[in-house]
Amino acid sequence: MTQPIVIAHRGASGYLPEHTLEAKALAYAMGADYLEQDCVLTKDEVPVVLHDIHIDTVTNVAAVMPKRARNDGRFYAIDFTVDELKSLRVTERLDHETGKPVFPKRFPAGKSRFEIPTLAEEIEMIQGLNASTGKNIGIYPEIKQPAWHHEHGKDLSRILLDVLHSNGYRTKQDPCFVQCFDVEETRRLREELDCQLPLVQLTWDVKWSENGDGFDRDYIDTVLKQFAEYADGIGPKMSHVTSGADESGKPIVTPLVDSAHAHGLVVHPYTLRADDMPDWIDDFEELLRICYKTAKVDGLFTDFPDRAVHVRNQLM
């Protein structure tokens, strides 16, 4: 196995508001190998970098454009032009129900000035940094809720691929993974849209055991065989890779990584957070070591790329 990659989850989101250019620049400086871009469409069909189709938990939209909410009380990126979204201030993520920060010890909510970037703007910055540093840091876009976009008459996948292609990301040799939770859409990327970039099938399948003792290898092998028909890797929940510790304190590692490797698939689990640890461990660096050395993942998503890079470089 080559050295596992560190994927900056929404950028260095443990330190700066998620998916801002500032969070991506910091992650770049921290040594991440890939920077993640969750993508949704605007009203004028511009891919912007946001984790959700809603914008009210990460912007001040409710305060400055209160009449733009839908009947459910939520504000949707697809109802705004890119210029309108650019006028909003991005903040640390807030809980929709309570209005309080999801991670209270992170960057103070509402402080400083951040905005929503377009996918093209973020690519331009990353490629600019690659030019000025001599590095070749990659991108890792996710197609968010493609079926929902289809229902609204918009083909997010096709538009996103156009942006990637126009910026030089076309082949499996280019530093770009494309990920999606929607199985039909990920397959469509390969078979209908002829995407030649590495594809990662994200999954949260509840049938995938979160306890190593209950891992159903036959079921998983069947699913992985199907994924391998069109994808190059999988992005499982971290708890499907290492799910706890036994009575002696030894970590429980499921056979998922070995099974995926047997089907030619890389494994990039999500999401390792120092401020949101599994209940069976309280040492973030030890959790990273388990992922790298015991579970032997090919990469991982983390809000704290500096710490993941540091531990990996100590071990490898």
List pLDDT tens digits, range 24-50.
999 999 999 999 999 999 999 999 999
Among 47, 27, 31, smallest CA distance to 39 is for 47
Whether residue 279 is contained in a domain is answered as yes
Name the token pair of 303: 């809000």
Whether residue 243 is contained in a domain is answered as yes
Q: What is the DSSP letter of 5?
A: E
- Element (DSSP H or E) covering residue 223: helix 217-227
Whether residue 306 is contained in a domain is answered as yes
Whether residue 212 is contained in a domain is answered as yes
Per annotation, catalytic residue among 9, 54, 149, 268: 9
Cα 239 to Cα 209: distance, rounded to the nearest angstrom: 8
CATH of the domain at 245: 3.20.20.190
Whether residue 62 is contained in a domain is answered as no
Phi and psi at residue 267, to the nearest 5°: -130, 120
Per annotation, catalytic residue among 19, 51, 54, 240: 51
Cα 308 to Cα 30: distance, rounded to the nearest angstrom: 10
Cα 67 to Cα 64: distance, rounded to the nearest angstrom: 9
> What single letter denotes the amino acid at residue 50?
L
Find residue 300's DSSP bridge partners. Answer: 6
51 is catalytic: yes
**Is residue 238 left, alpha or beta, with left meaning phi > 0 and alpha meaning psi from -120 to 50?**
alpha
Please state, in angstroms and as integers, the Cα–Cα distance from residue 67 to each residue in 46, 58, 63, 71, following that order: 23, 17, 10, 10
Angle between helices 119-133 and 21-29 (to 10 degrees): 30
Phi and psi at residue 115, to the nearest 5°: -135, 170
- For the segment 89-107, the average pLDDT, to the nearest whole number, is 96
**pLDDT score at 213:** 56
Name the token pair of 170: 């076309």
To which residue do tokens 């990039």 refer?
268
**pLDDT score at 208:** 67
Cα 87 to Cα 246: distance, rounded to the nearest angstrom: 51
Whether residue 75 is contained in a domain is answered as no
**pLDDT score at 248:** 87
List pLDDT tens digits, range 267-281.
999 999 999 999 999
240 is catalytic: no
Whether residue 38 is contained in a domain is answered as yes
Going by DSSP bridges, is the β-strand pair 34-41/138-143 parallel, antiparallel, or unpaired?
parallel
Query: What is the CA angle 198-200-202, rounded to 5?
Result: 170
List pLDDT tens digits, range 54-92.
999 999 999 999 999 999 999 999 999 999 999 999 999
The number of domains in the chain is 1
| pLDDT for residue 1 is more than 60 | no
Name the token pair of 283: 């040492």
Cα 125 to Cα 293: distance, rounded to the nearest angstrom: 33
Range of the domain at 31: 5-52+120-315
Residue 178 makes CB contacts below 8 A (sequence gap 6+) with 141, 142, 143, 160, 161, 164, 189, 195, 197, 198, 199, 200
207 — pLDDT class (breaks 50, 70, 90): low
**pLDDT score at 246:** 87
To which residue do tokens 């698939």 refer?
265
Whether residue 138 is contained in a domain is answered as yes
User: Mean pLDDT in the chain?
Assistant: 95
- Helix (H, G, I), strand (E, B), or coil: what is residue 114? coil
Name the token pair of 99: 């209005």
